[in-house]
Amino acid sequence: MTAAIVGWAHTPFGKLDAESVESLIVRVANEALAHAGIGAEDVDEIVLGHFNGGFSQQDFTASLVLQADPAFRFKPATRVENACATGSAAVRQGIRAIDARNARIVLVVGVEQMTTTPGPEIGRNLLKASYLKEEGDITGGFAGVFGKIAAAYFQRHGDQSDALAMIAAKNHRNGVDNPYAQMRKDLGFDFCRNVSEKNPIVAGPLKRTDCSLVSDGAAAIVLADIETALKMRRAVAFRSTAHVQDFLPLSRRDILKFEGCAKAWHDALDRAGLTLDDLSFVETHDCFTIAELIEYEAMGLTPEGEGARAIKEGWTEKGGRLPVNPSGGLKAKGHPIGATGVSMHALSAMQLCGEAGGIQVPGATLAGIFNMGGAAVANYVSVLERIK
């Protein structure tokens, strides 16, 4: 362990018309510092996760963090991007600065504002996270990419519509008690399972309830080296991390195996000296319900092709063998791209400190986080443990 989370902040996710990328950044930066009990002058480095990809006219956003406090002036600030895993890429960059002893305290911010962009343009922006040379003409944009994955999975392993609806229903049920969630409504299995005017087919076998939400929002965490962290109010240490990057084209891999996800989980658990059974809960990247289903298999919860067992037998429910997405996941919480990975780390730290309110997993001691960019291209896993 070289780094720990010592403070955090999180806006509600959703359609935030009164906010801007700048105001969201400033808000969570100041709130995270206050939560950690430090000032801007104590921060050695700043890392911003912001995908953008056309969502914001203002680019070159790393220095917008300096708008939060004049004491940030002249401190190193860098923006990082790795598609939908941008937030976790920022977290990893912050950890690496501490690992290298170039920083004692790092502020990591993740942000995105998506809802001010017209619908067709949103689709074009998101599709940039695929291999346009081969996948740019897939109908339905990025949802079409995962619709294609779902159709191929159904062909290989049978119709999984019930399992996908159960995953959607679980995550919406969990999201009801998450004050940061964009959709706090228990939709129920029947609504998620059946095609209707309010739940139409979007791409392949995927319905609207199988797709995460277009969102605005921000989250921030304060990282500190272990010696510093142990002197602060709270400390949630990184027991291990892993980053695995895979080929971008779907044609270069078996997309139904999420091999980069599997390797990232293997590497992180091996470095932590743990097994999946040791974890209290997992926050995983359910950009689409088919992604969560395949991730059950990639993390080793079930054998390949048997992911449906985990949801149908209640393993991933809040009171199950391994609760998955007690926050409601991207499905209910929303998915402001640059903020998502930072949000996962903030909410997991809340859980381990017993500060997660209605979404609290009782007695949580170890958290697993999986955040991915593209279709299992950028794969990040963190294992967190409270040490103070």
Decide if 19 is inside a domain.
yes
Out of 10, 35, 84, 211, pick the active-site residue.
Answer: 84
Decide if 202 is inside a domain.
no
CA angle 173–174–179, rounded 5-degree value = 115
Residue 279, CA distances (Å) to 6, 174, 342, 361 in order: 21, 19, 20, 11
Beta pairing, strands 201-203 & 206-207: antiparallel
Decide if 295 is inside a domain.
no
- Domain housing 53: 3-117+214-229
Decide if 222 is inside a domain.
yes
> Rounded CA gap, 378 and 82, in Å?
7
Q: How many domains does the chain have?
A: 1
Decide if 89 is inside a domain.
yes
pLDDT at 38: 98
Q: What is the CATH number of the domain that holds 82?
A: 3.40.47.10
pLDDT at 140: 84
Decide if 347 is inside a domain.
no
Is 345 a catalytic site residue? Answer: no
222 contact partners, CB below 8 Å, separation of at least 6? 5, 6, 7, 8, 32, 33, 35, 36, 38, 43, 105, 106, 107, 108
CA angle 367–370–376, rounded 5-degree value = 165
> Rounded CA gap, 388 and 385, in Å?
9
Out of 10, 285, 335, 345, pick the active-site residue.
Answer: 335
Is 335 a catalytic site residue? Answer: yes
Decide if 123 is inside a domain.
no
What number of other Cβ atoms are within 10 A of residue 268's Cβ? 25
Decide if 342 is inside a domain.
no
Per-residue pLDDT of the chain (388 residues; tens, 9 = 90+): 899 999 999 999 999 999 999 999 999 999 999 999 999 999 999 999 999 999 999 999 999 999 999 999 999 999 999 999 999 999 999 999 999 999 999 999 999 999 999 988 999 999 999 999 999 999 888 999 999 999 999 999 999 999 999 999 999 999 999 999 999 999 999 999 999 999 999 999 999 999 999 999 999 999 999 999 999 999 999 999 999 999 999 999 999 999 999 999 999 999 999 999 999 999 999 999 999 999 999 999 999 999 999 999 999 999 999 999 999 999 999 999 999 999 999 999 999 999 999 999 999 999 999 999 999 999 999 999 999 9
Strand-by-strand arrangement of the 236-245 sheet? 77-80, 45-49, 105-113, 216-225, 3-10, 236-245, 378-386, 366-373, 281-283
CA angle 16–39–25, rounded 5-degree value = 20
